[in-house]
Chain A
Amino acid sequence: MNENDIKEVIFTILKRLAPESDPSELAPDENIRKALDIDSFDALNFFVRIDEELGVSVPEADYGKLNTLTEMLAYFSRRLA
């Protein structure tokens, strides 16, 4: 799975959580939760869906490292490598 595939998965999940938004307009270093107004419940739902779609279980301690698209892509690429 390359970065584009991962990005696709992330966008699909974000779109479901924030239907009125357009995740493809996110800047690479934008704070996603703030940009899309995602609360802690939806943040948890996001990681549940990531687990289902990518098979990557993100430990709670890593939540804070995954604020932007750049961070997520790097993190998931590494975990999937």
Chain B
Amino acid sequence: MTNSDKGLHKLTYREAVREAIREAMHKDERVFLMGEDVGRYGGCFAVSKGLLEEFGSERIRDTPLSESGFVGAGIGAALGGMRPIVEVMTVNFSLLAADQILNTAAVYLYMSGGQFNVPLVIRMATGGGRQLAAQHSRSLEGWYAHIPGIKVVCPATLEDARGMLWTALQDPDPVLIFENAGLYNMEGTVTATAGPVDIDRARVCRAGKDITIISYSASLHKSIEAAAILAKEGIEAEVIDLRSLRPLDEQTFLNSVAASHRALIVDEGCRSGSIAAEIAARIMENVFYELDAPVARLCSVEVPMPYAGHLEQAVLPQVDQIVNLVRKMVGADG
């Protein structure tokens, strides 16, 4: 698989995002990147490392520590005909720009009577697991998915990290791209020709007939790992990568649940009012009579994220929890 002769090349998730930005900058001169430390420092997560040298300070712009200010500037630039990529360091800080995102970007088209689209892309890191404690470890993508007027996508794979940005930039409306910071160092291969991908459909990552595990972002990889363990026990789990939380491609997971008759949602967000809750509700609404077990959710424990590593891991969904839950649901827990 890793043979470069076959047109595959090895890279990290971080590099895939960087390649996507570079490609967009080359393809469309209206595209520019701005955010805290994206230039001289190379990005808080080193995503934009080297881009300042390549594209110059006009197109790779360091901003002051003012999320509300630079997200607002991004909205203005988009209205003015540019195609800005605004990097918000993490979703935690996006709350300072929440008014710009929810009350301006998301509703501008509507409030202007259909006159002004906001073709803005906002990238932000999300998720816990890196011992950054309660103020820097939230997973709020489910929150944003609550808001009509924006799109919320969560690339979990290298292909999506590489391919979602360009499609997001082509979208006439605001698109939020959530990159789980735990994935940046994930290595893998993509084909040399990897290019834009859709940002509105879920994907079946692994086929199985006994249960459907619905997940996205970092939790997807835990789900896939769990499915591999379960397969050794003869339990065939189908794993679905939602990819986009808004729009939510319900048909893909509904079809799967209708066939497997069981559903488990694995979501790093807190359970109450989560996207997992939304998915569970849609399953009830649409395929209730196909269910052979109550829909189950595995979400983060509802406490402020602890700093201590072992406690933090205890809060986040884990592979063994997925395995145990599935065993119970399919009646294979002895």
Answer whether A and B touch in the complex at a CB cut-off of 8 Å. Answer: no
Residues in B lying within 8 Å of A, measured CB to CB:
none
Residues of A within 8 A of B (CB): none
